[in-house]
């Protein structure tokens, strides 16, 4: 087996020393990202019992686990990802690219034609380490998530999306402000300080 590079060794040590990683393991969540959603939920009251929620880029399923627990049995939760994902009690998992009609139809069918109260997107591209490649890809995913959110959200619905700050992010924020009555940018504590990721919460879609 080849030796790991020093940078790889540092990443592994940082990962397993991370208190959020340790807490996720202790509490049975599938990843540390769940605590970003938990903090945002506590701050902005995103999730309530009985809500109808779409979770995009859901794998491995930490956000889905948390959302399912918050909306309860009377809620409806659709978790979608290109990657396969183990089932989550209380969620309907739709595997595939939601840009494809068949996958989108399954999401809409699960919502039952009633629309969604909340669309979550923690999507990120497979990173190459080259900003000129990674940043446009991440913005494109944000745009795709926005397109779906505007299609399925109820008039008083909300959209939470991960956005990497950089080229294109200001234009994307401007588009969110055009499409929603209220837009807030958040940086959860569980988001690593060196990461350029922020989370944008947009509420009450406009009729645009």
Neighbours of 57 (CB within 10 A): 21
**What local confidence, expressed as pLDDT, does residue 85 receive?**
94
The boundaries of the domain holding residue 199 are: 32-205
Is residue 199 situated within a structural domain?
Answer: yes
| CA atoms lying within 13 Å on the CB side of residue 69 | 12
Neighbours of 103 (CB within 10 A): 16
User: Would you call 162 a catalytic residue per the annotation?
Assistant: yes
**What local confidence, expressed as pLDDT, does residue 193 receive?**
77
Is residue 97 situated within a structural domain?
Answer: yes
The DSSP result for 167-204, as a single string, is: TTHHHHHHHHHHHEEEEEEE--TTS-TT--EEEEEEEE
**What local confidence, expressed as pLDDT, does residue 14 receive?**
53
Residue 184 sits at φ, ψ, to 5 deg, of: -130, 140
**What local confidence, expressed as pLDDT, does residue 120 receive?**
98
Token digits of residue 13? 């040590």
| Chain segment 170-179, per-residue pLDDT in tens | 999 999 999 9
Is residue 1 situated within a structural domain?
Answer: no
Which helix or strand (DSSP H or E) is residue 164 part of?
Answer: strand 153-164
Is residue 16 situated within a structural domain?
Answer: no
Is residue 19 situated within a structural domain?
Answer: no
**What local confidence, expressed as pLDDT, does residue 113 receive?**
79
Of the residues 162, 184, 187, 189, which is catalytic?
162
Token digits of residue 67? 């959302």
Spans of the chain below 70 pLDDT: 1-20, 22, 24-25, 27-30, 208
What's 178's domain CATH number? 3.40.50.150
- Sequence ranges of the binding site: 61, 63, 81, 97, 122
- Sequence ranges of the binding site for S-adenosyl-L-methionine: 61, 63, 81, 97, 122
- Residue 134 CA to residue 171 CA, distance in Å, equals 17
Is residue 9 situated within a structural domain?
Answer: no
**What local confidence, expressed as pLDDT, does residue 200 receive?**
98
Number of structural domains (the chain) is: 1
Is residue 117 situated within a structural domain?
Answer: yes
- Residue 121 CA to residue 132 CA, distance in Å, equals 22
């Amino acid at each position: 087996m080849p030796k790991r590079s020093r940078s790889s060794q540092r990443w592994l040590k940082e990962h397993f020393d991370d208190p959020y990683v340790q807490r996720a393991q202790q509490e049975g969540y599938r990843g540390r990202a769940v605590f970003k959603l938990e903090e945002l939920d506590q701050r902005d009251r995103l999730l309530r019992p009985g809500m109808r929620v779409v979770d995009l880029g859901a794998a491995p399923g930490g956000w889905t686990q948390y959302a399912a627990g918050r909306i309860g049995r009377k809620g409806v939760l659709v978790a979608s990802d290109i990657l396969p994902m183990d089932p989550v009690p209380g969620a309907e998992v739709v595997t595939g690219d939601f840009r494809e009609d068949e996958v989108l139809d399954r999401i809409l069918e699960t919502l039952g034609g009633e629309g969604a109260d909340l669309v979550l997107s923690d999507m990120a591209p497979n990173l190459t380490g080259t900003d000129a490649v990674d940043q446009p890809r991440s913005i494109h995913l944000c745009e795709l998530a926005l397109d779906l959110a505007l299609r399925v959200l109820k008039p008083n619905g909300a959209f939470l999306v991960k956005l990497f700050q950089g080229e294109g992010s200001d234009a994307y924020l401007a588009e969110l402000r055009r499409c929603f009555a209220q837009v807030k940018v958040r940086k959860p504590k569980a988001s690593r300080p060196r990461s350029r990721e922020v989370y944008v919460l947009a509420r009450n879609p406009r009729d645009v």
